[in-house]
Structure 1
Amino acid sequence: MGVYEPAFSLRERVVRGAVVVELTGEIDILAEQRLAPLLEALAGRSREVLVIDLRHVTFIDASGVRLLLRARDRVVRGGGRLRVVRGGATVAKVIRIAGVEPAFTWLDGFPAALGGVPA
């Protein structure tokens, strides 16, 4: 039997006071179940700005969209702001079809104010 390796990951760091969350891989129902508590905690910790970077997301479904919406709601409840770095065409299409694009403040790249492209 092989060892299960998730098709997703979350990397978190603080850059110039902002909490930056880089999501990678397939953000589906399994990812939502595993990442939701982590993202909820990070969103609650972010008193000013939370940046969610979707550039390395290869797939997102309704569960992934729900994950983003929950993070947004948590950040707003705490008085912070959420910024989302756009993902690829597949991710953008799902966001557009779900009708939630206006719910987020979108960035076309990693913010220069946070040091440009994250490592």
Structure 2
Amino acid sequence: MRQQSPSPTRHLHVRRDRGHTVLEFRGEIDIASAEEIAPRLDRETERPDALVVLDLSGIEFFDCSGLRLLYRARSQVLDRGGRVHLVCAHPLTLRMLRITGLAGLMPPRPTLEEVLGVSRTAERRTGR
């Protein structure tokens, strides 16, 4: 079941989908939008045992400020026993993720459906 929650920023849309919190980044993610996104990102990633998907399919531009947001979200989720997944198919962003090593920490999947399918299979295997 999908649930949407109001988003105070036009650059981050938050919704629930099949037990996951999906954080959809939108538009240009730069230093200005990162400041807008950070408080909402923190609220959504500080929950214990959260299942979080960082979805970059709606971005047009992504710089190092966006990379910092992704790393911050990953750290917060993992520190609280949760799991985090990344959706990204944009070639330039994928290149940045590979160059910085972030793709090794959060292997990107091309679609949200692939992430949710992989996650559900893993949950069945681990009994969660």
Q: Report the TM-score, using the length of structure 2 for normalisation.
A: 0.76
Give the conservation status (yes or no) of the 8 Å contact 1:19–1:49. Answer: yes
1:88 to 85, 90, 98: 90
RMSD: 1.9
**Aligned CA distance change for structure 1 residues 31 and 46 (closer, same or farther; 3 Å):** farther
1:86–1:46 Cα change, 3 Å? farther
Unaligned segments of structure 2, at least 5 residues? 1-9, 118-128
**Displacement after TM superposition at 1:78 (Å):** 0.9
CA contact (8 A) 1:18 1:51 kept: yes
Q: Going by fraction, where is helix more abundant, 1 or 2?
A: 2
Whole-angstrom CA distance in 2 between matches of 1:100 and 1:110: 18
Q: For structure 1, which runs of at least 5 residues remain unmatched after alignment?
A: 1-7
Paired residues in the alignment total 108
Structure 1 outlier segments of 4+, above 3 Å: 112-115
Q: Which residue of 1 aligns with 2:28?
A: 26
**TM-score, structure 1 length as denominator?**
0.81
Deviation at 1:85, TM superposition (A): 0.4
Q: Paired residue for 2:41, among 22, 39, 42?
A: 39
**Identical pairs, percent:** 35
Structural mapping, 1:58-69, within 5 Å: 58-69=60-71
Identify if the C-alpha distance between structure 1 residues 72 and 18 changes in structure 2 by more than 3 Å, giving closer, same or farther. same
Q: In structure 2, how many angstroms separate the alpha carbons of the residues matched to 1:95 and 1:39?
A: 19
Higher relative contact order (CA 8 A, sep 6+): 1
Give the CA deviation at 1:17: 1.1
Deviations 1:14-49, CA, capped at 9 Å, x for gaps: 111110111111111111111011111101126231
The 5 A counterparts of 1:1-119 are 9-45=11-47, 47-111=49-113, 114=116
Describe the shift of the 1:100–1:93 C-alpha distance in structure 2 as closer, same or farther (beyond 3 A). same
Matched AA of 2:64: A
